[in-house]
């Protein structure tokens, strides 16, 4: 079989899959209810996916697959950016700074250099890149440092 690795942006909360003998399991989020009212209690998470589908995942399986978006590694942060999220490092000093993904596209040439490589429609093909909204409010292309790549303090900006 082939190996796969995936990334999804989900919502989740701790939950319990509970049941009594002869009853179908159900999901509850109140620990007091779970442990007081049911014979069988499995700890895990209630998960809501982007399309609204909800499921339950065992605690160990969930925690191996998912990380909070407050303290991600660089790879997860980039995946979040590719899904349309704004990302930043917790320690950045500039107010309002964040990164976002700009997909490949065709843009009107604005300089002589760009015009020299433009197609007949006056547009230039650009590859995807990461842009930074700076503390000054302008946008510039961004390049990661070794520290940026190896740290685990990336967050999704709301």
Domain count, the chain: 2
Integer Cα distance of 56 and 46 in angstroms: 5
pLDDT score, position 115 = 97
Q: Is the C-alpha dihedral spanning 90, 91, 96, 101 positive or negative?
A: negative
pLDDT, tens digit, 9 for 90 and up, residues 9-21: 999 999 999 999 9
Question: Would the pLDDT of 114 be above 90?
Answer: yes
State pLDDT tens for residues 76-101: 999 999 999 999 999 888 889 999 99
CA angle 55, 52, 60 (to 5 degrees): 30
pLDDT at 95: 86
Domain that holds residue 116: 70-157
Evaluate if residue 1 carries a pLDDT over 90. Answer: yes
91 and 129 belong to one structural domain: yes
User: 78 and 49: one domain?
Assistant: no
**pLDDT recorded at residue 26:** 94
Do 97 and 74 lie in a common domain? yes
The angle subtended at Cα 36 by Cα 30 and Cα 40, nearest 5°, is: 90
In a domain, 37, yes or no: yes
Is residue 137 one of the residues assigned to a domain?
Answer: yes
Q: Which residues sit opposite 40 in a β-bridge?
A: 19
pLDDT of residue 5: 84
Within this chain, do residues 59 and 76 fall inside the same structural domain, yes or no? no
- Same domain for 137 and 123, yes or no, is yes
Tens digit of each residue's pLDDT (9 = 90 or more) over 115-140: 999 999 999 999 999 999 999 999 99
Q: What is the mean pLDDT of the chain?
A: 95
> Looking at the domain assignment, is residue 87 inside a domain?
yes
* Prediction pTM value: 0.80
Domain assignment of residue 6, yes or no:
no
- Residue 90 belongs to a domain: yes
pLDDT tens-digit map of 32-82: 999 999 999 999 999 999 999 999 999 999 999 998 999 999 999 999 999
Q: What confidence category does residue 7 fall into, taking pLDDT thresholds of 50, 70 and 90?
A: confident
């Amino acid at each position: 079989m082939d190996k796969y690795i995936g990334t999804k942006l989900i919502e989740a909360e701790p939950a319990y899959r509970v049941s009594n003998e002869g009853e179908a399991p159900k999901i509850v989020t109140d620990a007091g209810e779970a442990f007081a009212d049911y014979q069988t209690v499995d700890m895990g998470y209630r998960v809501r996916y982007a399309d609204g589908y909800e499921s339950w995942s065992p605690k160990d399986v969930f925690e191996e697959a998912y990380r909070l978006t407050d303290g991600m590694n660089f790879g997860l942060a980039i995946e979040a950016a590719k899904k349309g999220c704004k990302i930043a490092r917790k320690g950045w000093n500039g107010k309002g700074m964040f990164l976002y993904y700009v997909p490949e596209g065709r843009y009107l040439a604005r300089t002589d250099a760009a015009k020299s490589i433009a197609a007949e429609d006056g547009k230039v093909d650009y590859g995807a890149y990461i842009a930074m909204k700076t503390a000054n409010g302008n946008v510039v292309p961004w390049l990661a440092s070794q520290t940026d790549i190896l740290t685990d303090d990336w967050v999704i900006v709301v």
